[in-house]
Structure 1
């Protein structure tokens, strides 16, 4: 197989509560060609198709399941610039200059994504602040240092002590950092909007199509479908999420399991400003709200990918999340209307792998998203589009494949 096939999610997420988006079903029924083939029609593939078609490329998107049917519906869609790896820790790993660039690029990506959403009118643009609570990774003293590092990088951040945190948000923790202007979204609606924008410019979407072989040549790539048809293209982009090309894990990455729930609507019980809340802990709890007043809460991550084992823990993990949620916010209901579990990628630095694939000419990939999946999807679209246009990207080396 060209990509490692996984059972990416189980259960029903809140984004699947209504009728799924409809796209005409078109397979590949003969040999064809395109400037760029994008494998994967989730949020990453949709952003690639939008960016590349807007740049004038003839784009063909293929997916073995169908559009927006892989990991995208399992996303909790906290579109944050704050990287999983704190800036102070990332500085020790890759140096201050590179760490600051990575954090600033995520800030730019969130703002760019908001602007693109507004331009396309594909989904409402809802800005949310984020509250980062002291935990077992960064205590109150560590959060103070982290806040200083972020402000030094030009990222506005406020440090709240225990008294201020209790007064403003009703939360009992030693300290928290308050960041500003992240994005809240419905990931299914977001991906659908980007795909439709690309299609309106002439991009093609083919599904169900499974690519089983490729031949990367000096100036082109030749693909073969399961039915034996050939697809010729100048460039190939893997946007297959956690179904890794050839099953190969990029250096410094791993695939994990996670669990999430969405409560019943409870607008009157929600916390002030409905900011994102997450912890400086490992594993960390994270939560957001929805426009109809639900709380989406996730966490309890485990470093294994066995789907049967993951699914068997659904009940136990849901109860654990409910206990933590109820302890943190005693005034809310933890009754779950939706529960789901899924597979996701993480890295030791919190950064993804984006760029040209080693030893495969004209092949590119976006892999290893961590907790900033959609933010990194945006960065991936920017870097790969610039690369295919021959312009390059000033931050490309931050995310390049490592040997």
Structure 2
């Protein structure tokens, strides 16, 4: 067969892989059971997080673990009956968060993060997608001056080691930057590098539109129907069976459903998250996304309204929505900003695909010629989609990837 690929999964990662392959001359079919960007890429804080060089470690202090174990927080909740399902991956997550191992993971994570702005802008510049990328950064707010000082020390480390830029604000500076914020805080860190996306779903759709405009094909299909077809691969779609020489599995949390059938069982686990939009009263404005450390949730100005996002919920994949975090967060949010009506009747729910070593899987599917992996980006799928797309396309075409791929190989576990 000529250079051809099926890309399974049309979130930000899958769309980016498909677009980069198409631009290298591949005949590409992008397959998903829903439209592009309707999974985890639909709902998030909408940030291209250039500052996020430090991945989220497993809590290691007794106080923090006791707080989460109480199951009453906004940033982390769990379904008790689901915890046996999470025991093995969370134990691995805790093991990889040991300081020396975490330092290695951080270096590999930062190598990807450092590329994110350039890779997004390389796709978006000069297209309608560029208008969705707002160069306004985001702010993290602190009540405790000691916590602010510790955060500023880490921010300085990120600036020295990884070129991250930020501005420190005291309480007065915060009030001037966000005059409609109604609570007093000791100060804030304004991360100035990140791009704030006004509509994450629209951004994924914009990149998908580039892909189809350049000759790529999108089809509704069933990724679990993937099978070997001679020297290549085949999958069932609404338009009939599609065959290609290579396949890319970019299915997020659902990736393991496919890879297990071909001998690879990644230790992937999901963190569920919710969001809901609100209008603001009167002429109030939120100028940029804010994460209030004391309250442990993000408020972000979006096309649809002010998006209130939650932290992590640990539940079995088939568990019905339980948006208790939003129920806890909304009354607090109303003391911070003059929120008015809810925009939607029901909150959105999505699942972040996480790996226990805090690094995505990018590279060959072990033991399967012509099969590739691109999943496990946790909270950074929106941020790292174009980076992953370029890396994997370079690997598939025999080029040296612009980010060394060894730390992300699938067989590292």
Q: Which TM-score applies when normalising by structure 2?
A: 0.75
Match of 2:227 among 214, 217, 227: 214
Cα displacement (A) at 1:204:
1.7
Distance 1:203 1:255, change over 3 A: same
Give SS of 1:160's match: strand
Aligned match of 1:64: 33
Aligned match of 2:273: 258
**Coordinate RMSD, CA, aligned:** 3.5
Aligned match of 1:183: 195
Does residue 43 of structure 2 align to residue 74 of structure 1?
A: yes
Distance 1:288 1:39, change over 3 A: same
Aligned match of 2:123: 116
Cα displacement (A) at 1:150:
0.9
Distance 1:352 1:175, change over 3 A: farther
Cα deviation, 1:264-319, whole Å, max 9, x if unaligned, reads: 25583224xx22222558x9412210247x2111114211234444x1x23x4332
Tell me, yes or no, if the aligned pair for 1:130 and 1:275 is still in contact at 8 Å.
yes
Aligned match of 1:23: none
Distance 1:179 1:68, change over 3 A: closer
Range with greater deviation from structure 2 (340-349 or 51-60):
340-349
Cα deviation, 1:105-160, whole Å, max 9, x if unaligned, reads: 32321232034212332351322212123489x92343032112111122122333
Does residue 157 of structure 2 align to residue 149 of structure 1?
A: yes
Q: Quick one: distance in 2 between partners of 1:276 and 1:398?
A: 32
Aligned match of 1:233: 244
Match of 2:167 among 122, 134, 158: 158
Match of 1:270 among 285, 289, 301: 285
Is the helix fraction higher in 1 or 2?
Answer: 2
Cα deviation, 1:68-109, whole Å, max 9, x if unaligned, reads: 433333344222223384599989354757635633532321
Tell me, yes or no, if the aligned pair for 2:365 and 2:372 is still in contact at 8 Å.
yes
Aligned match of 1:395: 404
Aligned match of 2:14: 45
Q: Quick one: distance in 1 between partners of 2:239 and 2:342?
A: 46
Structure 1: state its 5+ residue gaps: 1-31
Aligned match of 1:24: none
Q: Quick one: distance in 1 between partners of 2:48 and 2:282?
A: 21
Aligned match of 2:216: 203
Cα deviation, 1:165-199, whole Å, max 9, x if unaligned, reads: 45544553444322113223322222222222222
Aligned match of 1:298: 309
How many matched pairs?
360
Range with greater deviation from structure 2 (73-82 or 165-174):
165-174
Q: Quick one: distance in 2 between partners of 1:163 and 1:287?
A: 20
Aligned match of 2:368: 360
Q: Quick one: distance in 1 between partners of 2:293 and 2:265?
A: 25
